Structure 1
Amino acid sequence: MPTIKILPHAEYCPQGAEVKAPAGTSICEALLDNGIEIEHACEMSCACTTCHVIVRQGFGSLNESDEAEDDLLDRAWGLEPQSRLSCQAILAQEDVTVEIPKYSINHAKENH
C-alpha cells in the first residue's frame, strides 16, 4: 500500500502528514479519507482546479493525465510541470510526495 507524504500546508495540515491508501485510489480520495480536507469544488469530476497538487516525488508512478485534466491545469494557480488534479491522479504501488499550493482559484469552499 503506497504512502502519500503531504508537505506542510498552513490550512490543511500545518505539520505535514503521511497517509496510506490502496493502489487505484485517487490522491484526493486518499487525503479526504484521512481527514485532510483538500478543496474539491466539482466533487472530483474533473471540472475545476481546486484540488490541484504538485507531485514532488513519485510523479512517474501515477496514471497519465488526459486532455481534459491538462486543459484544466492550464488555469491552476501555481502550475508546475509536475502539477496534477488530485482527483484524477491515481496511485500505483510507489510512494508519492505532494505539495498543496497555497492558493486555488476557488473563492467559496464546500461545506463552509
Structure 2
Amino acid sequence: MAIVRFKGYADVEVPVGSSILEAAQKVDAPEGYACGGVCACSTCHVYVTKGAELLSDKEEEEEDILDKAFDVRNSSRLGCQSKILKDGEIEVEITRESLEAFENEHPEHRGKYTKRAS
C-alpha cells in the first residue's frame, strides 16, 4: 500500500496500481477531472513534491497535455496518468487550475477552495 498526502486536504492509503486521481477521489480531495481521467485535458494537474520515484514515468501523451496546462513545473503530473508503482509515501499539491476545475465540476463547492475577486 502507498500513502498519498494531499497537502492541506487529506491523507489516503491506496493499493499499488492506483492513480493519484483515484486516490484523490477516494478521500474527496478537490482534484479536477473534466475529461473523466482519460488524459484529454489538464484539469487533474498536480505537483508531486515527494515520492515521484514511486510513480510511473511521464509518457508522451501526458507531456503533450501538460504543454496546455498553467504554471507547469518539473514536478507537474496529471493525476490520471500518475500510477503508483511502489509502496511508500507520496506528497501532492493540487494546482490552482485543478482546484478551479473541481469547483466548476461541483458547483456546490464553488468558492470553497479558491477565492473569487468580487
TM-score by length of 2: 0.80
CA RMSD of aligned residues (A): 1.9
The answer to whether the Cα contact below 8 Å between 2:33 and 2:101 also exists between their aligned partners in 1 is: no
- Counting only pairs closer than 5 Å after superposition, residues 12-31 of structure 1 correspond to structure 2 as 16-31=9-24
SS in 1 for 2:65: helix
In 2, Cα distance between the equivalents of 1:68 and 1:39? 18
- Percent identity, aligned pairs only? 35
**Which residue pairs with 2:53 in the alignment?**
60
**Which residue pairs with 1:96 in the alignment?**
90
Compare the two structures and name the one with the higher helix fraction. 2
Deviating 4+ runs (over 4 angstroms): 104-108
Change (3 A) 1:84 1:107: closer
Say how many residue pairs are matched. Answer: 105
The answer to whether the Cα contact below 8 Å between 2:32 and 2:102 also exists between their aligned partners in 1 is: no
Give unmatched runs, 5+ long, in structure 1.
9-15
Q: Which has the larger radius of gyration?
A: 2
SS in 2 for 1:5: strand
Give 1:48 deviation, angstroms.
0.2
Change (3 A) 1:107 1:26: closer
Change (3 A) 1:100 1:37: closer
Greater CA drift, 35-44 or 98-107: 98-107
**Which residue pairs with 2:30 in the alignment?**
37
1:39-96 deviation digits (Å, cap 9, x = unpaired)? 1000000000000000000111100111010011111112110110000001121210
Greater CA drift, 96-105 or 36-45: 96-105
Give 1:28 deviation, angstroms.
0.2
